[in-house]
Amino acid sequence: MIDTDLIVVGGGPVGQAAAIEARSTGLSVVICEPRSAPLDKACGEGLMPGAVRALRRLGVDVAGRVFAGIRYVDGATTAEHRFRSGQGLGVRRTELHRALAARAAELGAATAPVAITDVQQDAAGVTVRGGDTLLRARWLLACDGLHSAVRRAAGLSARAPAGPAARRYGIRRHYRIRPWSEFVEVHWAPVAELYITPVADDLVGVAVLGGRGLDYEAALAAAPAVRERLGDAAHASQLRGAGPLRQRASGRVAGRVLLAGDAAGYVDALTGEGIRLGFAQAEAAVAAIAAGRPDRYERRWRALTRDYRVLTAGLLAAAVRPALRRRVVPAAARLPGVYGVIVDRLAG
């Protein structure tokens, strides 16, 4: 007897958003998440305008620091663009998770503190096991991140291509300092990008993206403008890392199992719209489940992520080649109209 419509594996922001979508559609839902709330993650923490609108639609209110757009910096060369579709919001990942989890619980989403180790499905539903816990539902939506165990169990993992683009990592730390810019700044150092995101009136996040062996302090030293701004500001969090960032899936649907967020495949964090896309995928996946038409989700996923996949892959190809890397910001500065169109397409 199946008495649950949907199991969501992974209780991060995308999993919580999926639970909110499911409850808003009238589906019963259980979120499987073994970690204690609130959940943190190494990420840039800048929500694009599309993500801010999605939060409003989900009925989620979260405190943060508004930002106006994206500024690229390489030495004395800068390129900046103000969003045309609204403002962005810098939000500590823990605050975002807390607000989403509270909304999901308010709507009646249940939570099971288990790590899923086995997934089995048949024509009628999906059964998952975590330790001594056995759960069954009509559908399963995996939102369990870059290294998704469900993606592997469902046979949807695909080998990422070799090369420097596939060996990228991220490290983040916060500093107790008043934000100095109304933009998210992306500083292009010789071997890494530094994302400076205002997340509160007295707090700035500095995320570093680069290749294998990425050294946070070395990256800061290679961006003297950032190092000077930070001065002797106190650390407000420990270093936290993630990677490798490049992940591939052979598909987003296997029977009654669907993938959303980073679990569904990830190119790179260069363009900073992971949360926006994750929310959109959660909405699309739940809509397909509610209609009993999971096949619709694969097509919708490809449409939702097309700009991200194409534009991010192109930027990444330049970022990992030294001869092209140093031309990125000068090219954006010379072609502000093109740069602005790209930023707005990715902002949603």
Helix (H/G/I), strand (E/B), else coil: 151? helix
Using one digit for the tens of pLDDT, what is the confidence trace for 293-335?
A: 999 999 999 999 999 999 999 999 999 999 999 999 999 999 9
User: Is the pLDDT reported for residue 336 higher than 50?
Assistant: yes
Nearest residue to 65 (alpha-carbon basis) of 84, 85, 47: 47
Reported pTM: 0.95
Nearest residue to 276 (alpha-carbon basis) of 31, 13, 61: 13
Using one digit for the tens of pLDDT, what is the confidence trace for 114-157?
A: 999 999 999 999 999 998 999 999 999 999 999 999 999 999 99
User: Is the pLDDT reported for residue 38 higher than 70?
Assistant: yes
- Stated as kind and residue range, the H or E segment containing 274 is helix 274-291
Dist. CA 90–CA 3, nearest whole Å: 39
User: Is the pLDDT reported for residue 165 higher than 80?
Assistant: no
6-9 and 257-259 strand pairing: unpaired
Dist. CA 211–CA 166, nearest whole Å: 9
Phi-psi map region of 293: left, alpha, beta (phi>0 left; psi -120 to 50 alpha): beta
Dist. CA 234–CA 339, nearest whole Å: 34
CATH number of 6-65+90-160+246-321: 3.50.50.60
CB 61 within 8 A of CB 95: no
Per-residue confidence band for 1, with pLDDT thresholds at 50, 70 and 90: very low
The residue written with tokens 């009993």 in the block is 292
Per-residue confidence band for 287, with pLDDT thresholds at 50, 70 and 90: very high
Using one digit for the tens of pLDDT, what is the confidence trace for 60-97?
A: 999 999 999 999 999 999 999 999 999 999 999 999 99
Dist. CA 194–CA 186, nearest whole Å: 5
Nearest residue to 32 (alpha-carbon basis) of 107, 106, 137: 137
Q: 13 — phi, psi (to 5°)?
A: -55, -40
For 215, the token pair is: 């050294």
CB 189 within 8 A of CB 222: yes
